[in-house]
Structure 1
Amino acid sequence: MPIVNLALQVVPKVNGGNSYAVVDKAIEVIQQAGVKYEVGAMETVMEGELDHLIEIAKKAQEACITAGALEVLTYIKIQYRPEGVSMDEKLAKYR
């Protein structure tokens, strides 16, 4: 299976709480998953096999609920290329 990039943004609905703390729990799931990732101001991009990344996204949503979110809006973008795609190739000229 080719390597893809998956961008994940979780937007938790929290009553009277700190939504940033809830988002941090989703990022912890990604950090512990053992995939290459980069946290951005609006979303986190992961690199790996699509099925694995989708499972991580599901766990990140659940982490938001466990952390106190009433519901979670989740936005996912996937870049797929049959031969694979990497974050490094897209970002190298900017670093």
Structure 2
Amino acid sequence: MHSYTVNASIQIIPIVQDRHPYEWVDEAISIIQRSGISYEVGPFSTVVEGTYEEVFKVIQAIDEYLLSKGCPEWISNLQIQIRSTG
């Protein structure tokens, strides 16, 4: 894996009827907060910055969490900017 700096906008859209979608979104934000990478929560997505590996590890952790807790369906919208220098 490379060590490029990555900025990513992560938006999770739970498709659920048994819980309010924000409950799932709040859990995803908690995972990002605990990851230790730089982040900024916005009204439509959370922007993170880290190495390629760090950012994709967080994305994988969110997906695994939602699956393990029984979220029946969700959409993950990602926008990724990769910078190979500086």
After superposition, give the CA deviation of every residue in 1:20-55 in whole Å (9 maximum; x if it has no partner): 011000000000000000001111010000122111
Among 40, 43, 46, the residue aligned to 1:41 = 43
Residue of structure 1 in register with 2:6 after alignment: 4
Query: Aligned equivalents of 1:79 and 1:27: distance in 2?
Result: 20
Amino acid at match of 2:8: L
Deviation at 1:66, TM superposition (A): 3.8
* Map 1:26-65 → 2, pairs under 5 A: 26-65=28-67
> Segments of 4+ in structure 1 off by > 3 A?
65-68
Deviation at 1:64, TM superposition (A): 2.6
Query: Aligned equivalents of 1:63 and 1:27: distance in 2?
Result: 12
Query: Aligned equivalents of 2:38 and 2:67: distance in 1?
Result: 24
Scaled by the length of structure 1, the TM-score of the pair is 0.79
Gaps of 5+ in 1: 85-95
Query: Larger Cα Rg: Structure 1 or Structure 2?
Result: 1
Instruction: State the SS of the aligned residue for 2:25.
Output: helix
Q: Greater shift after overlay, 69-78 or 57-66?
A: 57-66
How large is the RMSD of aligned CA atoms in angstroms?
Answer: 1.4
Q: Does 1:69 align with 2:67?
A: no
* Map 1:74-89 → 2, pairs under 5 A: 74-84=76-86
Q: Is the 8 A contact 1:10 1:75 kept in 2?
A: yes
Instruction: State the SS of the aligned residue for 2:19.
Output: coil
Aligned residues: 84
